[in-house]
Chains A and B, each alone.
Chain A
Amino acid sequence: MTPRARMVGFLFAGAGFAALMFWGLVGLPDFGHYHWPYGNALNAIATPERHTTNVVGATVFDYRGLDTLGEEFILFASVVGVALLLRKDDQARVPPDVVRSDPIRALGVLGVLLLFVLGLWVVAFGIVTPGGGFQGGVALAGAFLLVYVVGGYRQYHELLPHSPLEMTEAAGAGAFAVLGFVGLAYAGAYLGNFLGIGNAGSLYSGGSIPLLNWATGIEVCAALLVLFSEFLKVYMVPAAEWTPEKGPR
């Protein structure tokens, strides 16, 4: 099918689809007039029941915890798929990998420290203020990637070797499922609460939600770093095969 024929076909199909979609969207209630009971019920009972002031965090890890379990394993399966698809590619050139710029190194070290502390804070306080395992996990991964910017692939690979990273990711995903079973044993429901719920507004609150939070944060951080390593591992020349024309060490 030529591109022109495809575009003509899309014009007709796209116009029909857009008409149907707008007809469907017109049937929604007016913007701003939310009247369904589910949101009102959650806002009313989340803080008294689980002592978390972040209702979205409680929804993600407790009231809709099964959805989050599914999302975690989507993430895990995608990373496994990427690891299976990308094999060592002998045709690629090894790029020069020495960071020579002093401002980049100085500011990069500062950036690593700041982003690491910020990522830990976002994960830890996800039950009190906006944040949580998903957001903080990506921020932590960003901190480790800044190590790559500052020091090159060799320092990054020495800090985070490939096998422990993959095991950490699997441990994060498995910990989420195992914590669900602990909840089943103690509270009679999968992903039920099995710890004391503490005081709302402090770090000690929410029962087992902070544990699920940290499992998610560790898994998301390790998953992004594994993706990075998978795409780049072709550039890691083993020491036995290194010759000067393959680039700097």
Chain B
Amino acid sequence: MSFLPYALAGWIFVVGLYGVVSSRNLIHLALCLTVMQSGTYVLLLAIGYRNGTTAPIFRPSRHPAVDPVVQALTLTDIVVSVTVIALILALALGAHKESGSVNPEEIADFTG
């Protein structure tokens, strides 16, 4: 049972990968990429957790706490990934404008 948090991270990643592979819509594909990213956040936080301790906010005094480094990496990544997804969606809009479809298979067949 103590393997469950790591299994969750693996499960989310594989589920997102299945979504990317079987997607028929570029916007749906971008959201499945975000699901894959959330799997990495879950893994990072599960590594930093320590039993019986609480958050690394030391008000009013110091106490045993979980690892702050993985939290620092994760929280900047969550906000920055929004703009990266916006860039991917802008590319999808450009492809839609050129070929008239958001289906990756139809765009792949489009020439000209």
Residues of A within 8 A of B (CB): 3, 6-7, 10, 14, 17-18, 21-22, 25-26, 28, 30-34, 36, 38-39, 42-43, 46-47, 53-56, 59-60, 63-64, 67-68, 71, 74-75, 78-79, 81-82, 85-86, 89, 128-130, 132, 134-135, 137-138, 201, 220, 223-224, 227, 230-231
Contact = CB atoms under 8 A, between A and B. Distances in A.
Contacts of B55: 130
Contacts of A6: 21-22
B7 A67 contact: no
27 contacts: A3-B22, A25-B6, A25-B10, A26-B3, A30-B2, A32-B2, A32-B50, A32-B51, A53-B57, A53-B58, A56-B56, A56-B57, A59-B69, A64-B73, A67-B76, A71-B76, A71-B77, A74-B83, A74-B84, A78-B83, A82-B87, A85-B94, A137-B79, A220-B79, A223-B83, A224-B83, A227-B83
Interface of B: 2-7, 9-10, 13-14, 17-18, 21-22, 46-51, 55-60, 62, 65-73, 75-80, 82-84, 86-87, 90-91, 93-94, 97, 105
B48 A86 contact: no
Contacts of B9: 25
A54 B57 CA distance: 5
A14 to B, nearest CB: 6
B3 A31 contact: yes
Given A31-B2, A78-B87, A55 B59 contact: no
A178 to B, nearest CB: 20
Contacts of B10: 18, 21-22, 25
Contact of B50 (A34, A53, A85): A34
Contact of A34 (B60, B66, B75): B66
Contacts of A47: 58, 62
Contacts of B93: 85-86
A134 B76 contact: yes
A10 B72 CA distance: 34
Given A31-B6, A129-B57, A134 B79 contact: yes
Which of A56, A85, A134 has the most B CB atoms < 10 Å from its CB? A56
A220 B4 CA distance: 35
Contacts of B82: 224
Contacts of B59: 53, 128-129, 201
B71 A56 contact: yes
B65 A55 contact: yes
Nearest to B71: A56
Given A18-B14, A82-B83, 14 more contacts: A6-B21, A10-B22, A26-B6, A31-B2, A56-B71, A64-B73, A67-B72, A67-B76, A79-B86, A81-B87, A85-B91, A134-B78, A135-B79, A220-B79
B13 to A, nearest CB: 7
Contacts of A227: 83, 86
Contact of B90 (A74, A85, A220): A85
Nearest to B50: A34
Contact of B22 (A7, A30, A34): A7
Contacts of A135: 75, 79
